[in-house]
């Protein structure tokens, strides 16, 4: 058994530390968040922190690290009020990872990757073309996490698009069929296979 306590962790070399602590909470969702500035400059950022917050109303959240992540995403979504969340699939992991490169704000990641902007139903922010599951969201609120200066962004799901063959009869989206990936740590991309679904759990007598 390997063991680290908080004191050990604080003394680790920086890259080792971020690899370790980014891996230890388990798999993370893999999404591209796309926005457009009022000037029309599009932006894509990769986020491994998108989480489900509630179904009624349908809300999601994600974490922004203000000090290390370029602020284009935050600036655009607060100024325009909208953003899109798009799954990352097996065939797009290399370009998705590349959107984490720090480009200047006047350069669009759409011009530096294979991804094509897809405008749907009059929504101001672009979707990622060919994403099999995409959401158009309104910016709702954000919370300052005072412990480390992170922001928790809250968005409402206003539009949900799902490619054929993924939505099952009970509303479940079979992410294996979508070839949606999960993120391991900072830079690992993994493809899950569904093992089982279980019924609503009830106490044993």
User: What residues between 142 and 181 interact with a second copy by CB under 8 A?
Assistant: 143, 145-148, 150, 152, 154, 156-164, 166-168, 170-176, 180-181
CA distances to 41, 109, 127 from 118, rounded to whole Å, are 14, 14, 5
Q: What's the min distance (Å) between Cβ of 87 and a second copy? A: 6
Among 40, 41, 87, 116, binds a second copy (CB under 8 A): 87
Is 203 among the residues that bind a second copy (CB under 8 A)? yes
**What Rg, from alpha-carbon coordinates, does the chain have?**
18
Q: What's the min distance (Å) between Cβ of 40 and a second copy? A: 21
Among 48, 72, 76, 84, binds a second copy (CB under 8 A): 48
Per DSSP, what are the bridge partners of residue 153? Answer: 62, 142
Q: How far apart are the first and last CA of the chain?
A: 37
Q: Residue 64 in contact with residue 74, Cβ under 8 Å?
A: yes
Q: What's the min distance (Å) between Cβ of 91 and a second copy? A: 10
Is 77 among the residues that bind a second copy (CB under 8 A)? no
Among 70, 80, 97, 124, binds a second copy (CB under 8 A): 97
Q: Identify which of residues 14 and 39 has a Cβ nearer to a second copy in the complex.
A: 14
- b vs e for 79-102, b when ≥16 Cβ sit within 10 Å of the residue's Cβ? eeebbbbbbbbeebbebbbbbbee
Is 185 among the residues that bind a second copy (CB under 8 A)? yes
The candidate with the shortest Cα–Cα distance to 183, out of 78, 62, 11, 55, is: 62
The candidate with the shortest Cα–Cα distance to 29, out of 63, 65, 56, is: 63
Q: What's the min distance (Å) between Cβ of 203 and a second copy? A: 5
Q: How many residues bind a second copy (CB under 8 A)?
A: 111
Is 99 among the residues that bind a second copy (CB under 8 A)? yes
Among 4, 105, 117, 118, binds a second copy (CB under 8 A): 4
Cα–Cα dist 149/36, whole Å: 25
Q: Identify which of residues 38 and 194 has a Cβ nearer to a second copy in the complex.
A: 194
Cα–Cα dist 106/72, whole Å: 10
Which among 33-41, 42-50, 74-82 is the span making contact with a second copy, rule CB under 8 A?
A: 42-50
Q: Residue 180 in contact with residue 30, Cβ under 8 Å?
A: yes
């Amino acid at each position: 058994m390997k063991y680290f306590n908080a004191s050990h962790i604080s003394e680790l070399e920086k890259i080792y530390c971020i690899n370790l602590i980014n891996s230890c909470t388990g798999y993370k969702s893999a999404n591209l968040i796309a926005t457009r500035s009022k000037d029309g400059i599009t932006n894509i950022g990769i986020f491994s922190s998108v989480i489900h917050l509630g179904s009624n109303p349908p809300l999601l959240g994600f974490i922004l690290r203000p000090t290390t992540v370029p602020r284009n995403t935050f600036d655009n979504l607060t100024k325009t009020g909208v953003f899109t969340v798009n799954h990352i699939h097996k065939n797009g992991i290399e370009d998705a990872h590349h959107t984490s490169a720090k480009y200047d704000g006047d350069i669009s990641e759409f011009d530096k990757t294979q991804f094509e902007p897809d405008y749907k139903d009059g929504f101001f922010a672009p979707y990622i073309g060919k994403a099999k599951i995409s959401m158009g969201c309104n910016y709702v609120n954000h919370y300052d996490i005072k412990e480390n200066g992170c922001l928790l962004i809250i968005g409402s799901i206003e539009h949900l698009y799902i490619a054929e063959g993924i939505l099952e009869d009970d509303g479940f989206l079979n992410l294996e069929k979508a070839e949606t990936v999960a993120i391991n740590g900072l830079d690992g991309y993994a493809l899950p296979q569904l093992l089982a679904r279980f019924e609503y759990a009830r106490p044993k007598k």
